[in-house]
Amino acid sequence: MANRHRGEIDAILDGKPYRLCLTLGALADLESAFGDEDMLALATRFETGRISARDCQRIIGAGLRGAGYDMSDLAVASMRVEAGAAGYVDIVARLLSATFAAKPGESGETSKEGEATGPFPGTR
């Protein structure tokens, strides 16, 4: 089971369970891939909630590699998820939220239910 406090999520890709995590190395790879100069710029990039298919491919690939899988972005491009495009966006939203959203009790806003909120797709 994924540990959200460590930035991990679980996802089903091609019918198999995987754990994803955006480690510091994975974030550095995303900064390079997107041409962002720092993590704040990377986080700001996704605040609008606009995510391309290529963004999904890169983020999911980085999350898989961060969790220890030897998986290229090209391999990720051919993987399938339930719910089609919405399924990919859900995985990305959960992964970005687990990585960047403040946890309850830390600085940051919380919902009425005490859950962390954040600026990324799928976060409240």
| Cut 0.85: pTM above it | no
**Residue-wise pLDDT tens digits, 14-33:** 999 999 999 999 999 999 99
Whether 54 has a pLDDT exceeding 90, the answer reads yes
| Residue 110 tokens, joined | 């919380």
Q: Report helix angle 53-66 to 84-100, nearest 10.
A: 50
Give the DSSP H or E segment for 92. helix 84-100
- DSSP class of residue 5? G
At 9, phi and psi to the nearest 5? -135, 160
pLDDT reported for residue 104: 55
Residue spans of the domains in the chain: they are 4-92
